[in-house]
Amino acid sequence: MANYIADLSYLAIKEETIEGVVVKPTVFLPLESVELKTNPNHTPDRRMYGTDFEALDLSQGERSHAGTIKVWGDPDTLGHFLNMFLKKGTTTGSAGDGYTHPFTVENPSTYTVEFPKGDYAQRFFGVKGDELRLLFEEAKLKIEADVRAMGQVSVMKTLSALVGASDTIVQFSQEYDLEPNRGLAATDQLVFEPGTVNEETKTISSIDANGYEITLSAPVTNSHDAGTLVYLKKQTISRSTLQKPFFFGDVRVGFGATKALATTAAGSKATATPIHEFGITFKNNLLAAPTTNYRDPVKLLPQFKSCDVMIKKLFETPEQHQKWLQLIKQGICFIFMGEMINIATPTNNKLTFALHNAKLIDNEEPLNVGEYIMDEQNLKALYDVSDALALTVELVNETSTY
């Protein structure tokens, strides 16, 4: 039996045109780790059946798909994850000067996401962001995305036997789902009877609307019994040049009585405030409750949104202590600067993440022997009535569309 190192895996993603309707993911991104998995909620079948042992079988319960994806935050990769958590507005700009992508706090796009384990691929569709954490590790921007999905496809079992050189129609068992072909796409490759003398790989031509059949582009070569194992084959990676992530030392942070003043303060190193540590957490608080029509969540709906910021900086005056005690509004702007796109303009890769109305939940100023006093703060982003906004998020990069 073969063994596989995780480093040979990949992350493939693509935005879905229709929410929850799978598209073949063809954008390959560098991946640090992924723990996205299905919970079928198997429970013992406790019906009385003439035996005093606990159960004869297991029964499926309410199914869910959730987990965490971790990647480095380069300007292109970051755009895809912002698109999973926020609603992207109209992109402007050009290849020469860079493209500007605005994001607002509304229902985001869904994605199809795929990653292999060995030779077989696990694909999740209808993927939407639940909690996004932007933090720094070894001075590089890290994205930790807790996501949920509407369904998955990976391994299947044939319902009926296939005759070599004649059968192009494949029917799948409905033991997992009444629509087991949901999640597959034309041009996907399937591996039949892996690890046996009958192993073969075939390409899907079309997906039948009945939910359990597919058509192959060519007949199977070998004959396969009913109950044959079939899996979704991993794709051949199309690698692009690795981009540098945003670096901690290239972030400028501005504070002000309003978001506009905070943005101005973050506009230059001379007026920005040096920060020792910070992290941003945005939540959509997705509703993923089961409904009729599918065994999986049929919708992933953002409920109330929230954003929290952690900041650690040198204590200088009691101003922040006052703002904490008296619940005084602050605007905060983070500008993540990346490398130059056009030296003539000039234009840089850049992420602007601004809070219009932030108030302090905690403002600790601990005293420790031999250490400088620090403001250790936790802030809550609030809706600003005067600006009619809570957050402003804008990404400038060299990617024309998501």
DSSP secondary structure letters along 198-223? T-EEEEEEEE-TTSSEEEESS--SS-
C-alpha closest to that of 397 among 364, 352, 348: 348
Do 195 and 330 reside in the same domain of the chain?
A: no
Do 256 and 393 reside in the same domain of the chain?
A: yes
Pick the last residue of a domain from 227, 259, 280: 227
Do 315 and 349 reside in the same domain of the chain?
A: yes
Range list of H helices, 182-235: none
Per residue in 222-269, pLDDT tens? 999 999 999 999 999 987 788 899 999 999 999 999 999 999 999 999
Q: For 106-133, what is the mean pLDDT?
A: 96
Residue 242 forms part of a structural domain: no
Do 215 and 356 reside in the same domain of the chain?
A: no
Q: Residue 346: its pLDDT value, please?
A: 86
Those residues whose C-beta lies under 8 Å from the C-beta of residue 244, and which sit 6 or more positions away, are: 74, 338, 339
Residue 114 forms part of a structural domain: no
Do 330 and 219 reside in the same domain of the chain?
A: no
Residue 45 forms part of a structural domain: no
**Residue 123 to residue 105: CA distance in whole angstroms:** 27
First-last CA distance in the chain: 40
**Residue 352 to residue 394: CA distance in whole angstroms:** 5
Q: Residue 306: its pLDDT value, please?
A: 97
353: pLDDT confidence band, cut at 50, 70 and 90?
very high
φ, ψ of residue 317 in degrees (nearest 5): -140, 165
3-state SS, 104-122, equals ECCCCCCEEEEEEECCEEE
- CA 32, 38, 39, 42 torsion-angle sign: negative
Residue 337 has pLDDT above 70, yes or no: yes
Q: Is 258 helix (H, G, I), strand (E, B) or coil?
A: coil
Residue 236 forms part of a structural domain: no
Is 137:204 a contact under the CB 8 Å cutoff?
Answer: no
pTM for the model stands at 0.93
Residue 391 forms part of a structural domain: yes
* Domain count along the chain: 2
Mean pLDDT of the chain: 95
Do 211 and 295 reside in the same domain of the chain?
A: no
Map tokens 């992924």 to a residue.
Answer: 34
Residue 29 forms part of a structural domain: no
Do 317 and 184 reside in the same domain of the chain?
A: no
Per residue in 127-179, pLDDT tens? 999 999 999 999 999 999 999 999 999 999 999 999 999 999 999 999 999 99
Residue 34 has pLDDT above 80, yes or no: yes
Do 223 and 252 reside in the same domain of the chain?
A: no
Q: For 95-103, what is the mean pLDDT?
A: 94
Specify the CATH number for the domain of residue 311. 2.30.110
Residue 1 has pLDDT above 70, yes or no: no
Do 275 and 384 reside in the same domain of the chain?
A: yes
Is 279:309 a contact under the CB 8 Å cutoff?
Answer: yes
Range of the domain at 338: 248-397
Do 208 and 292 reside in the same domain of the chain?
A: no
Residue 352 forms part of a structural domain: yes
